[in-house]
Structure 1
Amino acid sequence: MAPPYRNAYVYELNNSYDPYGNGSDFQSICDDIYASSRNIVQRIWTYINGPGRHTAWGLAVKGGQQVRRNLTRRRLLSFPHVLVVLWMLVMLWGERWIFASRVQSCDWDHWEDWPAGATPHRLIFVADPQIIDPHSYPGRPWPINPLTVVITDNYMRRSYTQLQKVLHPDTVFFLGDLFDGGREWKTAHGNFDDPEWAKDHRPAEEKKYLKEWHKKYGEDFWLQEYMRFGDIFYENWKLGGFIPSPGQRGRKLISSLPGNHDLGFGAEVKVPVRHRFAAYFGETNRVDVIGNHTFVSVDTVSLSAGTSPMKDQIDLRPIYGPAQEFLKEVKATKRRAVQKEVRFWRGEVEEVAFEQKVEELSNADYSNPPTLDLGNEAPDFPTILLTHVPLWRDPGTPCGPMREHWPPTKPPKGQTGPVIPDHRNAISVSGGYQYQNVLSMEDSVNLIKSIGNVKHAFSGDDHDYCELVHTPDQENVREITVKSLSMAMGVPTPGFQMVSLYNPIDDQGNPIPGSPKTTLQTHLCLLPTQLSTYMTYAVLGILTILILIARAFLVSALNLQPFALDADQRFSSAILPVFKAKAENDEGSYDAKSGSPWTSSTKFPSARVSSARTRGQSISSGLNPQVRAASPNTKGKASPGKWGWGQNRGPRIEIRRDSYYDDKDRAWKPATRPRSRMSTAGREIWTTCWRVAWMVLLFFAYLTYKG
């Protein structure tokens, strides 16, 4: 038996010989694909122009009716909407206004104490923003991790925005740990693998994600994180204005100090990661003269490799070498930076001016070239050390009363000073994989001795506040460890450190007689506690539910106006009329004998008969036909009106979805029974709670989206 025509045709095409290479097989396949695609498109187009159009129109009509029902005055001014307005005000307070209020309470004028007419330089330290990424909470499910990223980013964005708008700082310094997993994202160049001796150091929780991180998160992902950091901090920096405060050179933002989450720590720092960081954020070891003070930033996470136990086993000079070379020349670098600043205020060129002359090379004198380094006798500004990792201190050294996580231990009766050691209140002197809570004693002493004239130090890393004065070995330097700006760093109340600098000098760079002995004042500015905000939302949510439940039972008990629409209150979704006049005409009549409505074309019940005065009241089989009497104006004739309405106001047919025909009683009856009080209250609870919930969540989503 021969195969069907189509199968034979395809068989011939597939087995045809094409001596000229015209590609008939390929052409036939393309024709089949084209025909099938055209058929599918035609079917879709037919559906869109037929049932699809009617379905869309029906949905649009229903949506319009729903909107019209909810735009009535009774619905708009209802009690659930009053609760929605209350929720909106509370969320505006928790997501916007409280940030502005907290930052305004830290305004410079509230705590600065300088002589009249002083023009201080106002600086802010931001520590450990540590933006959340896949390294932060590995294994978290998809909806929760992205939501955590959005919420924490919004918290820092709102805080930093108010910081710029309200405080207008002249300078903003970041103290490291800009990213959380910056050290984990593979670089485009260089060896990124962990050394063999360090592979067992990584925690087991991270080991199972290591291959995935190296496969999915590389240079491109790091650049996306860099843009995300810039969107939060760089873009909003301009909100502080472009005009500096009186007596200042200009506004600055410096974010080049790395943390252990940016590079790693000590012997396990990857040099390609540091090169990438420096390429985008700036030199990690630097000197800046700001407000007549010298700021020295040191990459201490790399410097710590020089005192690592692995130093004698492998060559770590590529890691710690640049930081050590910087410290060898840092005093001369400081003197040159101070001279540049002094020359600027004198109105001179900042760089060295060489004498222009022509002379024989053999007679040239190189013994005394001009330089900005005037030697040890040159004026020096008070020096401030910036390091991500705090300086060494003895275990149990207390951090003071402003440490939030563990307040100081209460001293015994009769003791006036703090309890020492106080391990609860102190920074733990310990370390682990890619971190060390404090620098080694050797590195700390070397830092202070190499830099010289260090009056103050600021650090990060710990996430909580810590203030202490170091021992004479570290030249009694006062150090403040700055709080983290992020709400996800284990400290309930984030914050930032405000610093006011005032050091008036003469034209040579020396302090003016009578100027304040203390040239630096600090203030800790605390931000909102996000947990308290969420607790406020939770309490308000519980109260809202209880209030709506109580209201629902009052509506049922006292027959008050309900918020939920009953079935009789709903608009029909039908486009055609839902009522038909019950009058004598050529189209139909009423069978008084059987008590059932019928028409000339149908001999079975088609609708329910109801009274015009009482909607939904059925007419029984004993209905007197005289109730169909015509209106006096029509003289016994039924006059059809618009949409099939008769002029008479007698019985009419109402097409209702909730009706059925009872064969036993030969009459139309409602399908639903009157609701009980419990049923009415339950329906009211569900309707009002759902209305408040979706409107509140929609407004919260809007605030979250806007940042």
Structure 2
Amino acid sequence: MASPHSNGFQSSYPYQPKRRRNEKSLLEDLPDKVERAARVLWSFARGRGRRMALAFAMDALHQVRRNLTARRILSFPHLLVVLWVFVMLWGERWVFHSTVERSIRVASTRANQSLCLARAQPKEAQPHHLVLLADPQLIDPHSYPGRPWPFSSLTVTITDNYMRRAYNQLQQQLHPDTIYFLGDLFDGGREWKTAHGEFKDPEWGHRPSHEQKHAKSWKKKYGEDFWLREYARFGDIFFDPWSKSGAAAGKGQRGRRLIASLPGNHDLGFGSEIQLPVRDRFEAYFGDGNRVDVIGNHTFVSVDTVSLSADTSEDSQVTDLRKIYQPAQWFLNGVDWNKRKAVARELRFQKGETEEAQFKHRIEDLAKADFSDMPNLEGEKGQADLPTILLSHVPLYRPPGTPCGPMREHWPPTKPPKGQKEPVNPDHRNAIIVSKGYQYQNVLSDEDSRKLVNKIGNVVHAFSGDDHDYCELVHDQTQGNVKEITVKSMSMAMGVPTPGFLMVSMYNPIDGKGNPLPGAPKQTLQTHLCLLPNQLSTYSKYAGLIFVSLVLVGLRAFLVPILGLQPFALEPQSATRGGSLLPLFSKAKAEDSDGRDHHSSGASGFSAGGHHQNAYASTQSRAFSKGGGGGNGYLGAKNHHHHQHKGGKHGAGKSENRWGWGAAEDRGPKIEIRYDDDYIYDGGRWKAASRVRGRGGRNVPSSTIRAVGREFWTSAWRVAWMVVVFWGYLAYKG
């Protein structure tokens, strides 16, 4: 009968309730199954598992005791490890100290080019010490997208440690008053999705094909959190050592500064490809890319040229890009006022006044108030314009083939023909290539370069980055004959074998209005290129030492059996401890050739066997007692002979029964004793193979080859893992 709430029809799925009950019962049984599994594991842990762990621990302890003997600690492989320790301390630590120290020494001997001593200037001179760093470009997934783990992580560790070690030495030995970064702080900063704002590639789609396949996965996997971790990583390498080195500046200087607000194309993108949320994020953490700073009585003007370049890009003809380039243009339009304001603040500070302009405190009737003596933010009349230095990530324009000078590492200058004293010009090998592509442009446009120099005014020097190699030149008249230096990258992963940084010494004594004092030098700044260690050269030294180590280990392994040297390789555990149940040797039934019984043959054979004797004796006693019923080898052998003489129907004579014990139907499986090739049955006795095979110019025994191989492998492995562990420790410590 149907239930009162049914429609009179039975369900067409009669087994569905049963299925549900089964599913429910499985869920109900799950805690019981987990409990039973836990009991089984607990029982295993208390019984067999505990015995296995104890056995493993005892074996490990035994191995440690075997290795802690004096002869092994003071062995040849460990002496080789000590050599490697000193070499790696040099390559991973000391070479950075000596290289920076050498740069200081070279700088101090070059007149008018010293940051540290400034010997060419008066004794009372107190130059401002400034360091320019370009293109650290922290390695990230954008750098080598096809490189698998762990090589990708290893690359990050090696490159970060290189910059950290060099930067620490820079802080400790130079202790500069100011550090300026010239952009490209990150390698893929423009690729990591922002938390706010629209984040997508521009609609014209200039991204190359080799990046298109990675762009979607980058946007899914790497976002704001990843960028913040990269920011913390940058701070760990550069901000933390700066803070630890102290805030005290050099004598007569205002204080130490670190300025990293100048963006590069890897931080934001370039021109029309820049996304506004990416730029907003960068400026929120590093500061405005367009700024004016007075440092060492010089005016530094930083310009976000990667955004400014959007105005002269081809895409500006079809798309409104004012949101990208307008902030930089507004800054340039008002840069003259910003410069005067910054100089006025500096002069007020040098006079001992407050930096900001202040009104006189008085009460006046508004109708009779005197506004003629209001303070001027731009300073007093007659205020001088300090020498101006332009900072840009992208170098200024120059005609194709303009040479970069002899200090350019990647392509030195072309040798001039006979009789020509001037450098070859154009020299396309030595020059920065004038080209552009997706998210980069090697030099600014001619229009933007002239606009920068003319609007800023009084530019005595320009510094840039982006190219990764050193380039020094003087621009033509259209760009005010400005001298420009493109600073080397300080990263070892930027395609230039020898990274570096630029040291700048500034000395410009002025009066209360900013005018130079009598006797002030005409050249107010000096530069010096500092080179960092060549990491490829360091790795080549490592490779050479690896080859020497293998040769030395191989030579000693070959001489161990020949000269009877103390071997480093330990004997196998079973042979030394006598714990094997069966002998591990060959040459079975060798005694049958001369009719000897097993007892006498075994005894005589193992008298020559040395350390193999215990293993054989235990096996022999077990085998004889099992077959003959006696408690020792002698009784077993005796019983064995008794069965031989009773013979008859159980065998075909003496030769068949002498290998077993008892009758044919009583004896168990035939036990075949094999001896190692270390010993050979010769002339009725077991003798060392090296003695037998060495007669008459015979071949070298295989046991000797195995001994050499074991000695070589054990020594090489010991050196390898200890050196790798020490390198890992140095890498972990930074």
Normalised by the length of structure 1, the TM-score is 0.83
Aligned pair in 2 of structure 1 residues 333, 51: CA closer, same or farther (>3 Å)?
same
Q: Do the aligned partners of residues 102 and 15 (structure 1) sit closer, same or farther apart at CA in structure 2, a change above 3 Å counting?
A: closer
- The whole-number CA distance in structure 1 between the counterparts of 2:573 and 2:189 is 62
Corresponding residue number in structure 2 for 1:71: 68
Q: Who is 1:486 aligned against?
A: 491
Aligned to 2:461: 456
Question: Does the alignment pair 1:705 with 2:728?
Answer: no
Equivalent residues of 1:65, 1:571 under 8 A apart? no
What's the CA shift for 1:368?
Answer: 6.2
Aligned equivalent of 1:133:
140
**Matching of residue 684 in structure 1 with residue 711 in structure 2:** yes
Identical positions, percent: 60
- Corresponding residue to 1:664 among 659, 665, 668: 659
**Aligned with residue 384 of structure 1, among 385, 389, 397:** 389
Say whether the 8 Å CA contact 1:556–1:681 is kept in structure 2.
Answer: yes
- Aligned-pair CA distance for 1:701: 1.4
Q: SS of the residue aligned with 2:472?
A: strand
How far residue 706 of structure 1 moved from its aligned partner, in angstroms, is 1.4
The CA distance in 1 between the partners of 2:705 and 2:130, in whole Å, is: 64
3-state secondary structure, aligned to 1:311: helix
Is the CA contact 1:122–1:171 (under 8 Å) kept in the aligned structure 2?
Answer: yes
Matched to 1:267, the amino acid is S
Shift of the alpha carbon at 1:205?
0.2
- What corresponds to 1:104 in structure 2? 101
Structure 2 residue matching 1:306: 3-state secondary structure: coil
1:270 aligned partner: 275
Match of 1:650 in 2: none
Following TM superposition, by how much is the alpha carbon of 1:570 offset from its aligned partner in structure 2, in angstroms? 6.2
CA offsets, 1:276-319, max 9 Å, x none? 00000001100111111111000000011111122232111111
Could you tell me how far apart the structure 2 residues matched to 1:411 and 1:564 are? 62
Change (3 A) 1:15 1:680: closer
Deviation at 1:245?
0.8
Once residues 181 and 573 of structure 1 are traced to their aligned partners in structure 2, the CA distance between those partners, rounded to angstroms, is 62
Partner of 2:410: 405
Query: Which position in structure 2 is the counterpart of 1:317?
Result: 322
Q: Map 1:285-300; keep pairs closer than 5 Å.
A: 285-300=290-305
Conservation of the 8 A alpha-carbon contact between 1:164 and 1:239: no
Q: Which residue of 2 is the match for residue 168 of structure 1?
A: 175
Matches of 1:574 and 1:288, distance apart in 2? 80
CA offsets 1:588-643 (integer angstroms, 9 cap, x no match): xxxxx99779xxxxxxxxx999889954448999x9xxxxxxxxxxxxxxxxxxxx
> What do you get for the CA RMSD once the two structures are aligned?
3.0
Q: Does 1:673 align with 2:670?
A: no
Contact persistence 2:166–2:532 (CA under 8 A): yes
Secondary structure, aligned partner of 1:152: helix
Mapping of 1:242-391 within 5 angstroms?
242-361=247-366, 364=369, 369-374=374-379, 377-391=382-396
Match of 1:92 among 79, 89, 93: 89
**Structure 1: where are the runs of 5+ without partners?**
1-9, 17-24, 577-592, 598-606, 624-661
* Cα-to-partner distance string for 1:236-264 (whole Å, 9 max, x where unaligned): 11243221110011111100000001111
1:120 pairs, out of 111, 120, 127, with: 127
Q: Which string of whole-angstrom CA distances, capped at 9 and with x for unpartnered residues, describes residues 425-450 of structure 1?
A: 00011111111111111111111111
1:392 to partner: Cα distance = 0.8
Give per-residue Cα distances to partners, 1:468-505, cap 9 Å, x unaligned.
Answer: 01111111111000000111101010000000111112
What SS is found at the alignment partner of 2:311? Answer: helix
Q: 1:280 to 1:38 in 2, by over 3 A?
A: same
Relative to structure 1, is the Cα distance of residues 377 and 448 closer, same or farther in structure 2, using a 3 angstrom cutoff?
A: farther
Q: Give the whole-Å Cα distance in 1 for the aligned partners of 2:448 and 2:334.
A: 16
* Matching residue of 2:691: none
Contact 1:396–1:422 (CA under 8 A) maintained in structure 2: yes
In structure 1, what is the Cα distance between the partners aligned to 2:487 and 2:611? Answer: 73
Structure 2 counterpart of 1:431: 436
Pairing of 1:5-154 with structure 2 (within 5 A): 15=21, 31-107=28-104, 109-111=108-110, 112=114, 113-154=120-161
1:695 matched to 2:699? no
The answer for the alignment partner of 1:644 in structure 2 is none
Q: Distance in 1 between matches of 2:515 and 2:300?
A: 17
> Is residue 178 of structure 1 aligned with residue 185 of structure 2?
yes
Normalising to structure 2: TM-score of the pair? 0.80
Q: Secondary structure at the match of 2:545?
A: helix
Does the 8 A contact of 1:557 with 1:677 survive in 2? no
Q: Does 1:547 align with 2:542?
A: no
Distance 1:37 1:249 in 2: 70
1:398-424 per-position Cα deviation (integer Å, ceiling 9, x unaligned): 000000000000011111110000000
| Paired residues, number | 624
Q: Judging changes above 3 Å, is the alpha-carbon distance between structure 1 residues 441 and 573 closer, same or farther for their aligned structure 2 residues?
A: farther
- Pick the structure with more helix per residue: 2
Pair 1:70–1:319, CA change in 2 (3 A): same
Unaligned runs of 5+ in 2: 1-15, 115-119, 582-595, 621-656, 662-670, 679-701
| One-letter amino acid matched to 1:73 | A
Mapped to 1, the partners of 2:537 and 2:215 lie a distance apart of 36
Alpha-carbon deviation of 1:345?
A: 1.4
2:647 matched residue in structure 1: none
Asked if structure 2 preserves the Cα contact closer than 8 Å seen for 1:58 and 1:573, the reply is no
- The 2-side partners of 1:206 and 1:11 are apart by 56
Query: The residue matched to 1:689 in structure 2 has which SS?
Result: helix
1:504-551 CA-to-partner distances (Å, cap 9, x unmatched) read 122332211001111101110101111111111111111111111111
